Amino acid sequence: MKMTIIGAGLAGCEAAWQAVAHGIHVQLLEMKPLHFSAAHESADLAELVCSNSLRGSGMNNAVGCLKEEMRRCGSLIIEAADATAVPAGGALAVDRDAFSRYITDKITAHPLIELQRAEVTALPDQGTTILASGPLTSERLSAALTELTGNAHLYFYDAIAPIIEADSIDTSVAWRASRYGRGGDDYLNCPLSKEDYDRFVAALLGADKVAGREFEQLTHFEGCMPIEEMAARGHQTLSFGPMKPVGLPDPRTGRPPYAVIQLRQDNRHATLYNMVGFQTRLTYPEQKRLFTMIPGLGQARFARLGSMHRNTFINAPRCLNQTLQFQHAPHIYAAGQITGVEGYVESAACGFLAGLFAACHLTGNSAPIPPEETAFGALLGHLANADPDNFQPMNVNYGLFPPLQGGRRKRTERRLAMAERALAALPDWWQQMLMLRSTAKASDN
């Protein structure tokens, strides 16, 4: 039994490692060093293109929980990170060259993996394939992907608005309503007086922005222009754009305020809200400083801050099924950042799952899905259940997990309880996978 994996980055290497554990032969296709994206520069596999950190290790951070799940289930990426870790306080940071070398050595030494250096320019019509070509997928392959997904479902930039943890929004200030009462009480609305608005726009104009890298000079479409760019067009631009107050009377005065910031429910469990139309390139400290000036958001905790990047990704809730297969081409699985997860660890975790799902199907089994209480399940849930009309990449965070029964715990306690619940739910699922794995290997012998 054989599968092809396109791209030997974090997701592709992890997917290959999980597939060979089921006895599958893997053809792994990587375009480096014949072609490099604008951010890759090493011939080694699983290159970390920017920071050398795989972020927090503690269980109060959902990425810590995700890493622990991966560690317990035999992830190659986490094994390599543990083996090449450098001191970084509470984070898992690595010696990037040693990390990539470790993975390259493991992959090239494995008897079931055939690594070929070649740019893939078309998607195969048949044969189990995992597409793991990353956020900087080569142009020709992107064109092929556009044909598969349709123009409207493949994006080349993310335009991410900040996401706020629901219980940190002051609902004595922000009120629930939709514009003109259409659509019920779906939004939370933060009111700004003229003074609030003037102060906010002035702060926005003076705030520090992240400089785009050369290959990231963005063409701003009207629909996803950063707020600071809109503010620079004129003092009232925001109040006629994403901050327009019309149709939103404040219940305390009966009149619309001078300006409004709308927060839209961002996940099924209503634990996260995004700031509508607030995509931005402000630096993270500046975003925290400015957005906590907004009435109702003084104590806001951000599950994700805004950003705009070059990033190829598909509209996963529209294009993929629950096991990461393209609905119109089920022999092709997607893995890594291209699915709309965000971050090194999340990309590797997604590769981990795609490798397992594809291996199960190749060996004639239906793949068990990780429970939604686990970090693996929460990440998959984002890809399956996020609103397809506003889909944007996402890091793993506890807002994606189902809420705990019985409220009123402190935030850290709540997070630790979610991690405990996740790690308790993991073994049953993993045992099922191990059984399928040993049956597959036994029938192969």
Residues that bind ligand FAD (CB under 6 A): 6-12, 29-32, 37, 39-40, 49-51, 119-120, 132-138, 141, 336-338, 343-344, 347
In whole angstroms, how close is the CB of 23 to ligand FAD at the nearest point? 23
Q: CB 253: neighbour CB atoms within 10 A?
A: 9
In whole angstroms, how close is the CB of 22 to ligand FAD at the nearest point? 20
Q: What is the DSSP string of 163-174?
A: EEEGGGS-TTTS
Instruction: Give me the residue label for tokens 């963005």.
Output: 218
Q: Which of 214, 279, 188 is nearest to 242 (CA)?
A: 279
Nearer to ligand FAD by C-beta: 32 or 264? Answer: 32
In whole angstroms, how close is the CB of 442 to ligand FAD at the nearest point? 31
Could you give the CA distance from residue 408 to residue 67 in angstroms, rounded to a whole number?
27
Nearer to ligand FAD by C-beta: 37 or 262? Answer: 37
Nearer to ligand FAD by C-beta: 333 or 344? Answer: 344
Nearer to ligand FAD by C-beta: 114 or 198? Answer: 114
Nearer to ligand FAD by C-beta: 122 or 270? Answer: 122
Residue with nearest beta carbon to ligand FAD = 9
First-last CA distance in the chain? 12
Nearer to ligand FAD by C-beta: 9 or 277? Answer: 9
In whole angstroms, how close is the CB of 215 to ligand FAD at the nearest point? 8
Q: How would you classify the pairing of strands 272-275 and 163-165?
A: antiparallel
Instruction: Give me the residue label for tokens 């619309």.
Output: 256
Could you give the CA distance from residue 379 to residue 175 in angstroms, rounded to a whole number?
30
In whole angstroms, how close is the CB of 441 to ligand FAD at the nearest point? 26
Phi, psi (5° rounding) for residue 265?
-55, 135
Could you give the CA distance from residue 78 to residue 96 in angstroms, rounded to a whole number?
13
Nearer to ligand FAD by C-beta: 271 or 347? Answer: 347
In whole angstroms, how close is the CB of 50 to ligand FAD at the nearest point? 3
In whole angstroms, how close is the CB of 351 to ligand FAD at the nearest point? 6
| CA-to-CA separations, 33 to 29, 45, 198, 321, in angstroms, rounded | 12, 10, 52, 33
| 3-state secondary structure labels for all residues of 231-251 | HHHCCCHHHHCCCCCCCCCCC
Could you give the CA distance from residue 279 to residue 281 in angstroms, rounded to a whole number?
7
How are strands ordered across the β-sheet holding 91-94?
53-56, 91-94, 85-86
In whole angstroms, how close is the CB of 358 to ligand FAD at the nearest point? 15
| CA-to-CA separations, 196 to 88, 246, 290, in angstroms, rounded | 40, 17, 11
Nearer to ligand FAD by C-beta: 31 or 358? Answer: 31
Instruction: Give me the residue label for tokens 């997917």.
Output: 15
Nearer to ligand FAD by C-beta: 343 or 368? Answer: 343
Give the burial string for 139-162 (b: 16+ CB within 10 Å, else e). eebeebbbebbeeebbbebbbbbb
In whole angstroms, how close is the CB of 28 to ligand FAD at the nearest point? 9
Residue 399 contacts residue 376 (beta carbons within 8 Å): no
Q: Which of 301, 302, 269, 264 is nearest to 381 (CA)?
A: 269
In whole angstroms, how close is the CB of 52 to ligand FAD at the nearest point? 8
Take residue 105 and report the two structure tokens written for it: 């050595």
Residue 131 contacts residue 38 (beta carbons within 8 Å): no
Nearer to ligand FAD by C-beta: 201 or 358? Answer: 358
Residue 174 contacts residue 190 (beta carbons within 8 Å): yes
| CA-to-CA separations, 185 to 168, 178, 188, 262, 387, in angstroms, rounded | 19, 5, 8, 12, 17
Nearer to ligand FAD by C-beta: 210 or 362? Answer: 210
In whole angstroms, how close is the CB of 435 to ligand FAD at the nearest point? 28
